[in-house]
Structure 1
Amino acid sequence: MQVEQLSWSLANGWSGSRPEQKGAAQWVLAFGAPEALNNTDALAGLAAAYPHACIVGCSTAGEILDTRVQDDTLVATAVHFSDTQVRMATATVDGMQDSYQAGSTLGHALNLPGLAHVMVLSDGLSVNGTALARGLRESLPSTVAVTGGLAGDGDRFKQTMVCAGGEVMANAVVAIGFYGARLRVGYGSLGGWDTFGPERLVTRSDGNVLYELDGQPALALYKRYLGKDYAAQLPSSALSFPLSLRGENIHDSVVRTILSVDDVGGSMTFAGDVPQGSRATLMKANFDRLIDGAAGAARSGLQRLDSFAPALAVLISCVGRKLVLKQRVEEELEGVRQVLGPQALLAGFYSYGEICPHGGVTKCELHNQTMTITTFAES
């Protein structure tokens, strides 16, 4: 398994290491700022360098290149497997109501003999990540895990997109299936946030739209906790104050991030479901715990590789973590490097949601405000 990495910027074009076997890569990950991902010259250069590769990716809220965090660039990671095959599937959505069907369509398309793992990249604003994960989970064998994330758009929340086969699309989801007995995949997902304030009952919700907490308009209650300054900066300020949910229909507990607010209706729309009857608690950042959480996710990913050293680690971290950590953001990447060792190439992006198994309970679940890591090796 050989891995190479390139970086593109408008000022400098493509730069970085070149593959020893030019054109031999089967899979290329392309993570970039919306403007960079939409640059036709950048994608044309990538397609020319890897003419036989399946090129997939998405827009970001920041690009990860080794232990550096970049903005306004396009980072490409090319992978040449020795004995693993890849297959791509795509699905489009007209709205969040299509999310479950999109996941089901992708799962059925990739459910072929020898499937070892699935990685999914989704539009970050038009997809309900909970329903997408459920559609994938119910259409794939219980032995196949799914990891991935929701595309980002910085802190703007205006437009996100995915790249499938070198084509950039909005309102779409792309998934890659990996096939082969020699492939080893590890994964882990951890947060590091602290709860504060009382636990409240979700008394009215519909899917991923929250209307009432303890019988009160949810948005008004949330704004009171945030205070005048943070409330005026919604929805971007909500990235620093997610909700923790627990309940009968939730495995353990999950974290949810706000995508948008409706001041007229007093509601909040989240990246995933907020089930009625569940219990919600506001959360805030703890710098040291966020950084420790990234290292913990790396340890989980490493433990699942059966002593094989990872050649590639795909890191998907929530944009909320980036905005909270600010100048310390690269510390979470350095913590991952210390765990995985020098041989692992690190690539990834800052997202609007992360998809990963939830411990040993489910093989595919939406997470928010986590660092989710997928490690790859071939035996």
Structure 2
Amino acid sequence: MKIIQASKNGSEDWHYLQGKEQLKNPLVLVFGNRYLLEDEAVLKNIREEFSYEHLVFGSTSGEIMNGNVLDNSISVTAIELEKSTFIIERENISNFDLQPNLLGEALLSKLPKESLKHLFVISEGLLDGSKLIEGIENNLSNAIALTGGLCGDDARFEKTLSSYKENPKPGEVILIGLYGEALEVTYASAGGWFPFGPERKITKSKDNIVFEIDDKPALELYKNHLAHRASGLPSASLSFPLNVTYEGKQQPVVRAVLGMDESQNTLILAGDAPENSKVQLMMASIDAIIDGAQHATELAMKNREKKADIAILVSCIGRKLVMNQRVGEETEYIKETLDASTATTGFYSYGQIAPFNGNDYTNLHNQTMTVTLISE
């Protein structure tokens, strides 16, 4: 595997990590600030500098490269697979009546299944990520894992952009299939957040919209629990996600509050929250978040046969806001834990996609660091 990485801020020149080199038919991951990915001049410059066919774009809430966290930048990672192959497919949510599960099914149906080793998804950030996963996994073998993330837009939540080959636009979901016996892909996800306050029950919801908790308007109850912090909504919600335990399941998932409807008194979450689920507020300390990132890396490295050539890191905008000036510490710890030769790339997102540790089925996570390690 050959990897070339470069980044730039605004009108600055490209800064290369490994030295500029022409690769053979690489997979090119382009992560960047949403405003930059809307700029025609910036996009033209990217295509001139990286004149390859397979460019995948995703807007972010911060870019990750070489153990550093970048803002308002473009980061590019070009990956040449020497013993393996990849196939990329794309669909837009607008073509599926805004039903992510149908889009997921359509995407998977387009990919060949023979020799498929792993799936990586880069998705529109303002959709129900759990429904997207449900659609992709509906006809997927348990032997094939899915990781990835929902695109970001800093803390604005206005719109996200993504694309394959075309210029970035809203609504796009890109599914990357990795093929070949030479590939070794491992992954893990960990948080560092902990629940607090009373445990309650979701009594009325539909998909990712929560109407009532304990038969009371969800938004009103959420504001009451935040007390004086409620004045900082909606951005304050990123620091206080919900711990949701599905009925009949032991392991909870963390759900970020992506939005709220004052007229309906509802909470709009990053993933589904079924009725009768138990729910509890969460918070975290900076040290616990950093420990979570290191723990995810150690889990992903456990029992690997080869060192990873590249680590794709997908963290959460909520973690970034809580850590503030210390945000670079979680990526630095990961870089130090990995082999010195392992390249790192990734982004801060509106949702992280990975199986629970030790399980085959995938979940949408919030407030986690998800690590995907790939080698040939």
Match 1:370 to one of 357, 363, 368: 368
Q: 1:5 to 1:251 in 2, by over 3 A?
A: farther
What is the match of residue 11 of structure 1? 11
The aligned amino acid for 1:216 is K
- 8 Å Cα contact 2:354-2:362 kept in structure 1: yes
The aligned amino acid for 2:308 is P
The aligned amino acid for 2:32 is G
Equivalent positions of 1:1-379 (< 5 A) are: 1-17=1-17, 21-94=21-94, 97-125=98-126, 127-228=127-228, 230-248=229-247, 250=249, 252-303=251-302, 305-306=304-305, 308-378=306-376
Q: 1:332 to 1:273 in 2, by over 3 A?
A: same
Q: CA deviation at 1:317?
A: 0.3
The aligned amino acid for 1:113 is E
- 8 Å Cα contact 1:26-1:86 kept in structure 2: no
1:234-291 deviations in Å (ceiling 9; x for gaps) = 2211010000011335461100001110111110000100110010010011221111
Q: 1:132 to 1:201 in 2, by over 3 A?
A: same
- 8 Å Cα contact 1:23-1:51 kept in structure 2: no
TM-score of the superposition, structure 2-length normalised?
Answer: 0.95
2-structure distance, mates of 1:224, 1:317: 28
2-structure distance, mates of 1:19, 1:165: 24
The aligned amino acid for 1:103 is G
2-structure distance, mates of 1:366, 1:217: 25
Q: 1:115 to 1:251 in 2, by over 3 A?
A: farther
2-structure distance, mates of 1:165, 1:305: 33
- 8 Å Cα contact 2:188-2:297 kept in structure 1: yes
Q: 1:12 to 1:249 in 2, by over 3 A?
A: farther
Q: 1:214 to 1:160 in 2, by over 3 A?
A: same
1-structure distance, mates of 2:248, 2:32: 35
- 8 Å Cα contact 2:230-2:236 kept in structure 1: yes
- 8 Å Cα contact 1:47-1:166 kept in structure 2: no
Q: Which moved more, 1:21-30 or 1:83-92?
A: 21-30
Q: 1:202 to 1:235 in 2, by over 3 A?
A: same
Q: Which moved more, 1:191-200 or 1:62-71?
A: 62-71
Q: CA deviation at 1:338?
A: 2.0
Q: CA deviation at 1:166?
A: 4.3
- 8 Å Cα contact 2:68-2:328 kept in structure 1: yes
2-structure distance, mates of 1:91, 1:47: 22
Aligned-partner SS, 2:299: helix
2-structure distance, mates of 1:96, 1:362: 29
Count of residue pairs brought into register by the alignment: 375
Q: CA deviation at 1:41?
A: 3.2
Aligned-partner SS, 2:99: helix
1:135-177 deviations in Å (ceiling 9; x for gaps) = 1111222111010000111111101111212421211111111
Q: CA deviation at 1:304?
A: 5.1
2-structure distance, mates of 1:87, 1:167: 19
1-structure distance, mates of 2:154, 2:358: 32
Q: Which moved more, 1:357-366 or 1:261-270?
A: 357-366
Aligned-partner SS, 1:22: coil
The aligned amino acid for 2:124 is D
1-structure distance, mates of 2:226, 2:201: 19
Q: CA deviation at 1:197?
A: 0.3
2-structure distance, mates of 1:236, 1:41: 31
The aligned amino acid for 2:369 is M
Q: CA deviation at 1:105?
A: 1.1
Moved over 6 A (4+): none
Q: Which moved more, 1:4-13 or 1:54-63?
A: 4-13
| Gap runs ≥5 in structure 2 | none
CA RMSD of aligned residues (A): 1.7
- 8 Å Cα contact 2:247-2:278 kept in structure 1: no
1-structure distance, mates of 2:156, 2:340: 35
TM-score of the superposition, structure 1-length normalised?
Answer: 0.95
